[in-house]
Structure 1
Amino acid sequence: MKILVTKKLNTEQRNLLTDFELEEVSMIDISFGENFKVEEKVEIAVFTSANSVRSVFSVHKNNIAHFDTIYCVGQKTKYLLEEIGLQVALVANNAMELADALADRFSKDENSLKEISWFCGNLRNNDLPEIMAENGVLVTEYLVYETKYVPVKLETIFDAILFFSPSGVRSYLKENKSNSKPVICIGATTAIEAIQNFDNVYIADDTSVESVLEKVKEVLNSEENE
């Protein structure tokens, strides 16, 4: 069975799908810019993707001592933050869920600073700033990476497609048509984008690449046994 993976996997990840024929095609390109420096204390920092963490700390080498309370989206993002020595106060599955949780926390603590610093990419959605605005919370955005679409037209008919971001879905559809084959998404935000175009959408059990790979095995093996 043939699976389209819309990003490059590492060896360990690839080994999870040894029973399948894989085609790995990156549908987006990430760039991190230059000389992004945080010079002042950040009281409440929000990271909604692993790429934002990589940009701020791995690429631009910002001092973790500048960052106080941290909120994030996704287990991979949480893992990267903890790996560099930062504690995560709250992790959510998507930006909307995080925004709701933040709004709830701000409403319970009237003396808290109603301001967050959001480290994000150029294609971020508006769920978080809109919900924050509705709750009187000031959002300062820092665009710390840029996502570019790199659509590739594919002639192969795949038994499943794996998506890891909403931008990956949009890029794929610029050159390829939707179909009824299973589509596996890394999280709810990606799935919402996919559901608009695909009929057979599944969400991984958690927001990690490995979980997406396990889910596609589960889905395809289940279809085979029907």
Structure 2
Amino acid sequence: MENQIRIVSTKKLLEPQKQTLLNANFSVVENDFIAIQNKDFTIENSNEYLIFTSKNAVESVLRNKKVAEIKTKKCFCVGSKTKAMLEQNGFQIEAHSDYAAELASVICNSYVKNSFTFFSGNLRRDILPDAMTLAEINWQEVQVYETLLTPHKIGFDVNGILFFSPSGAESYMQENRIEDEICFCIGNTTAEALKYATPNIIIANQPTVESTIMKCIEYYKN
């Protein structure tokens, strides 16, 4: 279709997610611009509370043979899907938020005398660790996965690009230049990674893939 909106997704979408775009009569091209590699690690001597800021960290910890030893400890987490995965696997949630900055505020205001073990990836943001360090909170970090950039060259014109992480944005820009395309971002930190590349940034109402897709559809249908 000559005037069909063409969208690039920087991660492979679930079939219902992709179908939502197709039902809106969009053309969809999808590639995984990052890859997750789990790491070997030990979880002995973890602190009073556990922190997870991504589903990738949860998935890696669940692979550990000694995961049962830490399921008695309550968790702080970022994101509704991270929370859901923890609860589905027997963890109790003490507090959760949509953004790391919000979680940092909760921890630094109400849990300054407690101790934490933060399960992270190699490209994690500094917001939460810096806040805990500044508040002199007792915390340790265990790196449980690595994010690898897997850039792809997009050799055709597109109207919009869906971005779901700062690393995904970085990977996209390694092989592609952003010009007039509209960039739909899952959240503020992802948008931050694009601020020097383009002014054409729209942030989802909620930090979920589904909300990002709906924001894209709303933009082109209005």
1:23 matched to 2:43? The reply is no
Which residue is 2:215 aligned to? 215
After superposing the two structures, state which structure 1 stretch, 143-152 or 89-98, moved more. Answer: 89-98
Asked if 1:98 corresponds to 2:103, the answer is yes
Between 191-200 and 164-173, report the one with greater CA deviation.
191-200
Q: Distance in 1 between matches of 2:18 and 2:134?
A: 43
> Which residue of the partner structure matches residue 80 of structure 2?
75
**Residue in 2 that maps onto 1:49:** 54
**Cross-structure match for 1:126:** 126
- Taking every aligned residue pair, what percent have the same amino acid on both sides? 36
Aligned residue type for 2:163 = F
Q: SS of the residue aligned with 2:133?
A: helix
Residue 162 (structure 2) aligns with: 162
Structure 2 residue runs of 5 or longer lacking an equivalent are none
Task: Return the offset for 1:139.
Answer: 2.5
Asked if structure 1 preserves the Cα contact closer than 8 Å seen for 2:46 and 2:117, the reply is no
Cα shift at 1:39: 3.4
**8 Å CA contact 2:77, 2:96 repeated in 1:** yes
* Structure 2 counterpart of 1:17, one-letter code: L
TM-score, reference length from structure 1: 0.89
Aligned AA for 1:121? G
**Which consecutive residues of structure 1, in runs of 5 or more, have no partner in the other structure?**
none
CA spacing shift, 1:21–1:63, aligned 2, 3 Å: same
1:4 alignment partner AA: V
In structure 2, do the counterparts of structure 1 residues 77 and 201 end up closer, same or farther at CA, with 3 Å as the change threshold? same
Where does structure 1 differ by over 3 angstroms across 4 or more consecutive aligned residues?
Answer: 39-42
Contact 2:151-2:175 within 8 A present in 1 as well: yes
Equivalent residues of 2:39, 2:143 under 8 A apart: no
SS at match of 1:129: helix
Task: Say if 1:40 and 1:66, in contact at 8 Å, map to a contact too.
Answer: no
- What secondary structure sits across from 1:131 in the alignment? helix
Equivalent residues in 2 for 1:128-143 (5 A)? 128-143=128-143
State the Cα RMSD in Å: 1.6
Aligned partner letter, 2:95: L
The amino acid across from 1:149 in the alignment is: L
Which one is further off, 37-46 or 11-20? 37-46
Tell me, yes or no, if the aligned pair for 1:75 and 1:206 is still in contact at 8 Å: no
Structure 1 residue 33: deviation in Å? 2.3
CA deviation digits over 1:43-67, x for unaligned, max 9? Answer: 211101110011111x335434514
Q: Are residues 157 and 95 of structure 1, via their aligned partners in 2, closer, same or farther at CA, if it must alter by over 3 Å?
A: same
Name which of 30, 41, 44 aligns with 1:39. 44
Q: How many residues align?
A: 215
Q: Say if 2:117 and 2:142, in contact at 8 Å, map to a contact too.
A: yes
